[in-house]
Amino acid sequence: MKSLNLCIDIDGTITEPYYWLASANAYFKSNLQPEDVTMYEIHKLLGVDQAIYHNFYQQNCEQLHSEADIRIGVHSVLTNLHNHHYLHFVTAREEKLTDISVQWLQKHQIPLDSITHLGSHYKVEKALELQADFFIEDRYENALELAEAGIQVLLIDCSYNRGYLPHNVFRVSHWFQIEKIIGDHSRRVPESLKLVI
């Protein structure tokens, strides 16, 4: 029987976080490196108006997401976790990208129980609906919002998400660390059983 509900972001969390960089550099004639990406708002890093960056994204989003590289360990860890837990992908991508996302997951043989395209960065409502035990995320602001709602967050470390973390947000370096944390949590003795052991 499966025990935990795991909510998982896509971009920067199961994909490599800087997969968009080469295309953005070519389009905007810039030379940003991964270490330069110190904030989530990419248009600010490029020094362009948000609408201009949005236009670039809309022109290129399907190709960018289709060709995104996968993070090391994602396939094996999620395959193992799916044997014991529910996997719910919750992304800020627009709904029109659902087929692209599903095809990418299938290409990389990543199991799932559901996928939700919100078209918004606000994920709290969906996480509560799915009764998330953990939310695996890369966006700092999302992590804080989810934590404030009482959800445990595993924030995968990126150059753009550094900052103070509340007690229920844990910074992780890679997917094998995520697997260990969830495994350790699953093996804990429930509070209701401690009294009778």
Q: How many domains does the chain have?
A: 2
Asked whether the whole model's pTM tops 0.85, one would answer yes
The pLDDT of residue 193 is: 36
Q: Which pLDDT score, from 0 to 100, does residue 188 have?
A: 67
d(CA 16, CA 159): 12
Q: Are residues 149 and 93 in the same domain?
A: yes
The β-bridge relationship of strands 5-8 and 169-172 is unpaired
d(CA 114, CA 135): 14
| Contact between residue 170 and residue 154 where contact means Cβ atoms under 8 Å apart | yes
Residue 193 inside a domain? The answer is no
How far CA 146 is from CA of 14, 24, 100, 133, 141, in Å, comes to: 18, 29, 26, 11, 9
Q: Does 194 fall in a domain?
A: no
- Do 57 and 141 lie in one domain? The reply is no
The pLDDT value given to residue 192: 42
Q: How far is residue 114 from each of residues 5, 105, 131, 185, measured CA to CA in Å?
A: 11, 12, 13, 22
Domain identity same for 76 and 28: no
Q: pLDDT truncated to tens, each residue of the chain (197 aa)?
A: 888 999 999 999 999 999 999 999 999 999 999 999 998 889 999 999 999 999 999 999 999 999 999 999 999 999 999 999 999 999 999 999 999 999 999 999 999 999 999 999 999 999 999 999 999 999 999 999 999 999 999 999 999 999 999 999 999 999 999 999 998 887 764 544 344 33
Looking up residue 140, the CATH number of its domain turns out to be 3.40.50.1000
Residue range of the domain that includes 146: 5-16+71-188
Q: Under a CB-based contact definition with an 8 Å cutoff, are residues 11 and 91 in contact?
A: yes
pLDDT of residue 195: 40
Residue 137 maps to a domain: yes
